[in-house]
Structure 1
Amino acid sequence: MHRVWAKALRDADLPKIHFHDLRHTGNTLTASAGASIRELMARMGHSNTRAALIYQHSTDERQREVARKLDALARGAGDKDPSGTQRARP
C-alpha cells in the first residue's frame, strides 16, 4: 500500500501526504456541506460520536458562513415579531 501511494503522489507531483489524511479531508468537506453528526457517522462507518468528531475540523470559510447565517437571523428577527421590550420602547 505504501509503495503504491508514494508512487501515485510522485507521479501526480503532489506533496507527501498520508492516505489516511483523505478521511480527514472528506469528513471536513462533508461537514462543511451541512451533514449532521449522524450522517457523518454513517458515511465514515463510526458507531459513536467521539470517533466521528476526531475527523471533523472547523474551517475559516465554514465559520464565516455560520456568522453570515447568524447575522441574517438576528437582523430578520426584529422585523418579524418584536419582543415585548422592543414594542415598549417607542
Structure 2
Amino acid sequence: MASSYQIGLTTGMRRGELLGLEWKNVNLEQGTIQVKQTVVYVNKQHIVKEPKTKNSVRTVTVPVSLIDELKKFKSVWKKDRFKVGDKWEGGEYEFLFSSWHGKPMHPSSITTWWNRFEKRYNLPHIRFHDLRHTSATLLINSGVHAKIISSRLGHADIRTTMNIYEHALQEADVEAANKFENLFGVNKKSRGLEA
C-alpha cells in the first residue's frame, strides 16, 4: 500500500506537504498530485496553510505503479473512515496521512515511520527530508532537465535547484563526458583511427 515515503521519494514533496495532502488533490485518473497546502505544528496546534512559496503550489505526475498503490490505499482509507463514524474529528479535511480519527498527524510521526522502515529493511540511516534530495539526485542522474526537477520540488527559482544539487549535477556532467568518450572511442576504433 502507498506510504508517505513512496510518495515523498517519487514526488520530492516536503514532509509538511505530505501531511497536508488530501484525497481531493490526488487525481488517480490523470496520475497527478496537486500540492496546495502544508500542515505545520506550532504551539501544540496543527495549522493548515499555503505552501512555502507560490512555486511550491504545483502539480506533480506520479509513476503508474504508485497510482495502483494509491487506489488500494484509498479503498482501505474509505473503509477506515466509515468505521470511525461520528468519532471523526477531521472536519472537512480528508488527509491521506492522519490520525485514526482524521486529525492531522504530528510531523514526527512520519519521521518515526521512516526510522522503523529503515531498521526493518536494514537500510543506512538518512533523514526523511533526505528522500526529497534522493528524488532530485535520481532524476538528475537519469538525465531529467533541471527545470523539470525544480518544478517538481517547488523551488522558486531553478538557480535554487542548481545550487542545492550542484554536486549531483557535476557528477551527471562527468557521466555525460564519459558518454562522449565512449562514443568517440567506438568511432575511432570502427574507423581504424586508433593509434
Give the TM-score range, shorter chain: 0.5 to 0.7
What is the match of residue 36 of structure 1? Answer: 145
TM (normalized to structure 1)? 0.61
1:16-57, CA deviations, whole angstroms, 9 ceiling, x for partnerless residues? 211111111111111121111211111111120232121453
Partner of residue 21 from structure 1, selected from 126, 130, 138? 130
What is the match of residue 57 of structure 1? Answer: 167
Alignment of 1:74-89 (within 5 A): none
Which structure is higher in RCO with an 8 Å CA cutoff and minimum separation 6? 2
**C-alpha separation in 2, matches of 1:16 and 1:34:** 26
**C-alpha separation in 2, matches of 1:12 and 1:51:** 33
- Where structure 2 has 5 or more consecutive residues not aligned to the other structure, the ranges are 1-109, 188-195
Across the aligned residues of Structure 1 and Structure 2, the Cα RMSD in angstroms comes to 3.0
2:140–2:169 CA contact under 8 A, matched in 1: no
Bigger strand share: 2
Bigger helix share: 1
**C-alpha separation in 2, matches of 1:8 and 1:38:** 32
Runs of 4+ in 1 over 4 A off after TM superposition: none
- Where structure 1 has 5 or more consecutive residues not aligned to the other structure, the ranges are 77-90
**2:138 alignment partner AA:** L
**2:153 alignment partner AA:** M
Q: Which moved more, 1:5-14 or 1:60-69?
A: 60-69
TM (normalized to structure 2)? 0.32
Q: How many pairs align? A: 76
Q: Which moved more, 1:48-57 or 1:4-13?
A: 48-57
**C-alpha separation in 2, matches of 1:38 and 1:61:** 17
